[in-house]
A = this chain, B = another copy of it.
Amino acid sequence: MQAEDFLKQHLLKQISLSDEQFAYVFSHFKPHSFKKGDVIISPGDQVDAEYFVLSGCLKSFYVNDKLKMFILMFAMPNWWASDYNALYYKVKATTTLDCITDTEVLSLSNDDLEKLCNEIHELEHFFRWRTCRGYIAAHKRLLSFMNKDAKGRYEELMKTYPELYNLVPKQLIAAYLGVSRETLSRLNYK
């Protein structure tokens, strides 16, 4: 099965697992097919799983009191997404996770994740590795916010993830960069 291979490749890039171990790990994941626009996590939800993207694209975002949307991350194939604050601190979700396109994911409940990490040292290593990458990426983005203006951030994003340009509407890119749609629209001409 395709999902299985996809996850396997993802894990094996960082750790080694026997076929039996992997099969056991995989048995804890549940496949889901979502349609464009489907909502996986809503503010206020209790969150108890994270999601590994097989195909398609998710976005994780926060909406403030003025109904302005801020995108925390786009999740493409091979990425993981959830409301980690809610998952980790066991509080209600404050962000939304939904589908930009039709999307296939594998879900892993946090209980199972912790159980598997406990049982399989290598897997705990994997998740430490993954989280560390995320941490570093978040700090790079923080620097980008502090150091660069709207145009600089836009160019950096397009250089790093050129595929986004055609994949997601401009207003979502604006919401990721933390600028208004109008400003983003004007950037090309300056």
- The residues of A with any CB-CB pair to B shorter than 8 Å are 62, 64, 68, 70, 72, 84-85, 88-89, 117-118, 121, 124-125, 127-128, 131-136, 138-143, 145-147, 178
A-B contact pairs, 13 of them (CB 8 A): A62-B143, A70-B143, A84-B132, A85-B140, A88-B132, A89-B136, A124-B125, A131-B131, A131-B135, A135-B135, A138-B138, A138-B139, A142-B145
Distance (Å) between the CB of A176 and the closest chain B CB? 9
B-chain residues with CB within 8 Å of residue A84 when the two chains form the complex: 132, 135-136, 139
Q: Is the CB of A72 within 8 A of B121?
A: no
In Å, the complex CA distance between A133 and B131 comes to: 10
In Å, the complex CA distance between A64 and B138 comes to: 18
Q: Is the CB of A178 within 8 A of B145?
A: yes
B-chain residues with CB within 8 Å of residue A128 when the two chains form the complex: 117, 124, 127-128, 131
B-chain residues with CB within 8 Å of residue A145 when the two chains form the complex: 142, 145-146, 178
**Identity of the chain B residue whose Cβ is nearest the Cβ of A132 in the assembled complex:** B131
B-chain residues with CB within 8 Å of residue A133 when the two chains form the complex: 88
In Å, the complex CA distance between A140 and B95 comes to: 11
B-chain residues with CB within 8 Å of residue A125 when the two chains form the complex: 117-118, 124
B-chain residues with CB within 8 Å of residue A146 when the two chains form the complex: 70, 145, 178
| Known A117-B125, A131-B131: A88·B142 in contact at CB below 8 Å | no
In Å, the complex CA distance between A131 and B139 comes to: 12
Q: Is the CB of A85 within 8 A of B136?
A: yes
In Å, the complex CA distance between A142 and B175 comes to: 12
**Identity of the chain B residue whose Cβ is nearest the Cβ of A65 in the assembled complex:** B147
B-chain residues with CB within 8 Å of residue A89 when the two chains form the complex: 136
B-chain residues with CB within 8 Å of residue A70 when the two chains form the complex: 143, 146-147
In Å, the complex CA distance between A10 and B37 comes to: 44
